[in-house]
Amino acid sequence: MEGKFIGMKPIIEYQDYRAFMSDFYEERKRTSAFSWREFAKIAGFTSPSYLKLVCEGKSSLSKVTMGRVAQAMGLVGYEVEYFEAMVCFCNARNDAAKKAFLGKMHTIALDHKVRVIDKTAFEYYETWKNPVVRELAPMMPGAMPGEMAKACCQEISAYDVRKSLMFLERAGLLKKVGEEAYEQTEKSLVGSKEGMPLAIRSMHREMGRLAVDSLEKFSAEERNVTGVTLGVNRQGYEAIVHELDACRKKIISIAENCGKLDQVYRLNLQFFPLTKKVKRDEEA
């Protein structure tokens, strides 16, 4: 699970949902007072041993129950899609169905190839320079650090670029393919939100500052900054967050299919409260 339990493999490395559930249970049990009873309760099952029987192969999840289990394990976005495809694959009764669901699993895995940073997360996220250099370096094969520094809109020295390149190569996030030429080793990258929350918040803070600076630094033709203030309830909030997540994934897909790249952009999706929750008379 990307970023949820660092001791586990990413979900896309599994093809058996029972093995994934078992590893999830063992990891939770290793780090807390977790039990099959609690697992079943969180997923909304009355039988305290139901999920244990599933993991032992004595029962199976259904199309109705697999979503509840995915939610209980904290899966989000493509992780849910992959888990449900994995359940259908394991439960399929004929080769044609198995082939179809296995193909779906492979597609999801390829579309969301990620590298989970753990020990190097803080260093990567502590400055905007690392993600920018990681995107810029493959666009400028043969360029010296000073040339890359001049290509950045924000102030950065040749020394900073060289330092970032050395870190990214050491961390396995860039691979040298020639003299001063690099390529990315992964399509996309996520950090461990459980292990490095301070580092990730620091990155959001830095990128938020750069977004404010962009209002004065660039013309309206070069940047797109919009916003809307609206009232919602919890259900509406969750629906909007779901749409933002889907939009972000679609934008990533567009970027990955751009062909020859010539510029680095940053997209911030920000949706935050401006007031405290208002209690209406019937709720008081």
Closest to 196 in 3D by CA, of 254, 126, 134, 133:
126
Distance CA 135, CA 236 (A): 35
Gyration radius of the chain over CA positions: 22
Q: Convert the pLDDT of each residue in 229-254 to its tens digit.
A: 999 998 999 999 989 988 988 898 89
Residues of the chain with CATH 1.10.260: 11-112
Domain with CATH 1.10.10 in the chain: 121-225
Q: Which CATH class is domain 11-112?
A: mainly alpha
DSSP 114: E
Instruction: Provide the whole-model pTM.
Output: 0.56
Contact 178, 103 (CB under 8 A): no
Is 277 exposed, middle or buried, given 0-12, 13-18 or 19+ CB atoms closer than 10 A? exposed
* Crossing angle of the two packed helices 17-31 and 78-91, in degrees rounded to 10: 130
> Could you report the per-residue pLDDT of 28-86, keeping only the tens digit for each?
888 788 899 999 999 999 999 999 999 999 999 999 999 999 999 988 888 999 999 99
β pairing state of 181-184 and 174-178: antiparallel
Model pLDDT for residues 126-165, shown as the tens digit of each residue: 789 999 999 999 999 999 999 999 999 999 999 999 999 9
Architecture of domain 121-225: Orthogonal Bundle (1.10)
Give 162-228 as a DSSP string.
HHHHHHHHHTTSEEEEETTEEEESSSEEEE-TTT-HHHHHHHHHHHHHHHHHHHHHS-TTT------
Is residue 17 pLDDT above 60, yes or no? yes
